[in-house]
């Protein structure tokens, strides 16, 4: 297409259309020729051309030509093919290589058409056989060479221009797309921030400067005209009771490259207190130096209010549910005592069953409340020094009273102190023992052992009951899991006991696990860290 175009234009020029103004001024020609006779011949021929005047500069030193060709200011270069150890094609290639855009005409000897063709291929505009040179031929060759060169250059410029325009257009389109995309993202983000009570921040860890979105300003009760731009400014807005803790958590996230996830209270300018949930990620440079933290804040005041209502509810529910049970139990026991004195033993036996059912009801209420506490992170411990062995003995003694069939044997023990919530660990031992009793109705023995392994005490409770299938063993510490099917009435319960026990043990820094074989029995284990005597010196 391109060459066709040029061809058409060339044709137009040949027909004399669009001839430019080169006839009016002198055309400068640079002749590279090592033969003075040839130079003189060319000069004479040029002088015979009447309609155009030429300024001919002769150069026979090829090295000098090569050194200056890049800055060549002539309208045309005529070069002889034979130049001692050089050829005209060498000069041509050198000139093109250096970026010279001037038109070239190659002079050759007669009968050397091949050289001419090679010259054209190397970029010459034309070639002339010295013997054929006449003023007419020369004039036309010069004119065509210059015009052709100009046309090619103009075409190249045009193509380059078009390409550049196309690239620019494509870039502009892409940019518009990206901007549109960005706008949509921005809109979505703003919508999300506004509807979700979320604000975003960027914290430069080198300068301690902050960038906040307007939504974040609003979460702190500030208008967009009161921007928070420094870390210390933010810190002052955090409630004094949370300030140090949150700062430590921030430092931890930065130093350990961990995700920040925290809750804290902030004080608004009007004095009201609001809860904020903060999440952030730290970005590092190539040398692993922290650069910035990017994250979001969310208002969780409503959720916190609900949580505290829930806590209050748990407390009230515990009280309200257990009070009637306490009263019922009390009357049952008063009746039992009075009937014992009257020696009405069958009725005493009924009342005893009633009493144990009331104990069961009480345990169920307790378990449900414990699970609620675990779920809401409100299971609190009162840690004290506990002689583990003593605690286990106490639990065994009281559990022994609940079964006539089984003998609970403490086969091995060690005397070690642990740091624990006495009631809660007692609850774990009670739970495992009552399971052992419940799930080994045909057995007569339950074996308890206490070991000290490394820095932990390990308690094992072995029964010879129905056992647990391997598949079920993985799930046994999950919430609501039960060994038997829901329709089976032999082993009732909500299946919360082991879940609660596992939570209590884990929160004490221990582990809980089971070894069991179907129809042979189960051994439950749990471990707890032994209290180290040197703890005080270490502080």
| Shortest separation between residue 325's beta carbon and another protein, angstroms | 5
SS3 string of 337-352?
HHHHHCCCHHHHHHHH
Closest to 321 (Cα-Cα) out of 373, 367, 362, 269: 362
- Which stretch in 144-152, 188-196, 326-334, 529-537 sits in contact with another protein by CB under 8 A? 326-334
Among 248, 338, 409, 518, which residue sits at the site for another protein (rule: CB under 8 A)?
Answer: 338
Q: How far apart are CA 79 and CA 429, in angstroms?
A: 109
Q: Are 200 and 214 within 8 A, CB to CB?
A: no
DSSP state of 483: S
Q: Are 54 and 144 within 8 A, CB to CB?
A: no
Q: Which of residues 402-441 bind another protein (CB under 8 A)?
A: 423
| Shortest separation between residue 426's beta carbon and another protein, angstroms | 10
Nearer to another protein, 380 or 536 (CB): 380
**318 near another protein (CB under 8 A):** yes
Nearer to another protein, 98 or 402 (CB): 402
| Shortest separation between residue 408's beta carbon and another protein, angstroms | 19
**273 near another protein (CB under 8 A):** no
- Which stretch in 35-43, 288-296, 316-324, 453-461 sits in contact with another protein by CB under 8 A? 316-324
Closest to 503 (Cα-Cα) out of 446, 453, 431: 431
Q: How many residues bind another protein (CB under 8 A)?
A: 24
User: Per DSSP, what are the bridge partners of residue 80?
Assistant: 107
- Which stretch in 89-97, 166-174, 220-228, 313-321 sits in contact with another protein by CB under 8 A? 313-321
**397 near another protein (CB under 8 A):** no
User: Sheet containing 445-453: which strands, arranged edge to edge?
Assistant: 407-412, 445-453, 456-462, 521-529, 511-517
DSSP 359-404: HHHHHHHHHHHHHHHHHTT------EEEEHHHHHHHHHHHHHTT-S
Among 43, 82, 304, 322, which residue sits at the site for another protein (rule: CB under 8 A)?
Answer: 322
Among 40, 55, 334, 453, which residue sits at the site for another protein (rule: CB under 8 A)?
Answer: 334
| Shortest separation between residue 245's beta carbon and another protein, angstroms | 23
**342 near another protein (CB under 8 A):** no
- Which stretch in 87-95, 158-166, 201-209, 327-335 sits in contact with another protein by CB under 8 A? 327-335
Residues 6+ apart with CB under 8 A from 10: 147, 148, 151
Residues 6+ apart with CB under 8 A from 281: 259, 260, 293, 294, 295
Closest to 229 (Cα-Cα) out of 207, 205, 212: 212
Nearer to another protein, 245 or 360 (CB): 360
| Shortest separation between residue 322's beta carbon and another protein, angstroms | 4
- Which stretch in 170-178, 234-242, 284-292, 314-322 sits in contact with another protein by CB under 8 A? 314-322
Give 380's Cβ-side CA count (13 Å radius): 4
Q: Which of residues 345-374 bind another protein (CB under 8 A)?
A: 358-359, 362
Question: Residue 370: how many CB atoms within 10 A of its CB?
Answer: 22
Among 53, 208, 223, 323, which residue sits at the site for another protein (rule: CB under 8 A)?
Answer: 323
Residues that bind another protein (CB under 8 A): 315, 318-319, 321-327, 329-331, 333-334, 337-338, 358-359, 362, 380, 382, 384, 423
């Amino acid at each position: 297409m391109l060459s066709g175009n040029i061809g058409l234009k060339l044709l137009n020029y040949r027909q004399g259309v669009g001839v430019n103004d080169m006839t009016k001024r002198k055309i400068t020609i640079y002749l590279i020729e090592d033969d003075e006779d040839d130079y003189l011949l060319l000069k004479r021929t040029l002088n015979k051309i009447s309609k155009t005047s030429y300024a001919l500069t002769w150069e026979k030193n090829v090295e000098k030509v090569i050194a200056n060709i890049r800055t060549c200011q002539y309208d045309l270069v005529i070069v002889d093919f034979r130049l001692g150890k050089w050829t005209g094609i060498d000069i041509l290639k050198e000139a093109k290589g250096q970026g010279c855009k001037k038109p070239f005409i190659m002079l050759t000897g007669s009968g050397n058409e091949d050289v001419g063709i090679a010259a054209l291929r190397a970029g010459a505009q034309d070639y002339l056989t010295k013997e054929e040179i006449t003023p007419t031929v020369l004039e036309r060759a010069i004119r065509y060479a210059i015009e052709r060169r100009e046309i090619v250059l103009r075409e190249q410029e045009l193509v380059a221009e078009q390409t550049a325009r196309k690239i620019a257009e494509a870039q502009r389109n892409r940019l518009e797309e990206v901007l549109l995309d960005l706008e949509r993202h921005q809109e979505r983000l703003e919508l999300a921030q506004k509807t979700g009570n979320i604000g975003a921040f960027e914290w430069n860890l080198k300068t301690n400067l902050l960038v906040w979105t307007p939504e974040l300003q609003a979460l702190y009760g500030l208008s967009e005209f009161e921007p928070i731009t420094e870390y210390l400014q933010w810190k002052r807005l955090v409630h004094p009771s949370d300030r140090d803790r949150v700062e430590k958590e921030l430092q931890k996230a930065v130093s350990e490259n961990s995700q920040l996830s925290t809750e804290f209270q902030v004080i608004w300018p009007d004095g009201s207190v609001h809860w904020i949930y903060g999440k952030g990620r730290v970005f590092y440079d190539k040398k692993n130096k922290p650069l910035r933290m990017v994250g979001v804040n969310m208002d969780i005041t409503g959720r916190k209010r609900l949580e505290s209502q829930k806590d209050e509810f748990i407390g009230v529910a515990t009280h309200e549910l257990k009070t009637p049970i306490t009263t019922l139990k009390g009357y049952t026991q008063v009746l039992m005592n009075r009937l014992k004195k009257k020696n009405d033993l069958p009725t005493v036996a009924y009342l005893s069953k009633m009493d144990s059912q009331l104990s069961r009801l009480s345990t169920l209420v307790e378990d449900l409340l414990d699970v609620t506490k675990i779920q809401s992170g409100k299971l609190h411990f009162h840690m004290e020094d506990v002689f583990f062995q003593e605690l286990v003995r106490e639990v065994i003694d009281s559990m022994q009273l609940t079964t006539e069939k089984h003998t609970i044997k403490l086969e091995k023990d060690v005397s070690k102190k642990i740091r624990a919530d006495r009631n809660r660990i007692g609850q774990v031992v009670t739970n495992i023992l009552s399971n052992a009793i419940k799930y080994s109705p045909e057995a007569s023995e339950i074996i308890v052992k206490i070991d000290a392994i490394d820095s932990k005490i390990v308690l094992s409770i072995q029964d010879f009951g129905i056992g647990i299938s391997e598949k079920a063993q993985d799930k046994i510490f999950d919430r609501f899991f039960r060994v038997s099917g829901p329709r089976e009435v032999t082993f009732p319960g909500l299946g919360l006991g082991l879940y609660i026990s596992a939570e209590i043990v884990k929160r004490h820094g221990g582990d809980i696990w089971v070894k069991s074989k179907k129809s042979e029995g189960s051994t439950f284990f749990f471990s707890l860290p032994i209290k180290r005597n040197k703890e005080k010196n270490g502080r």
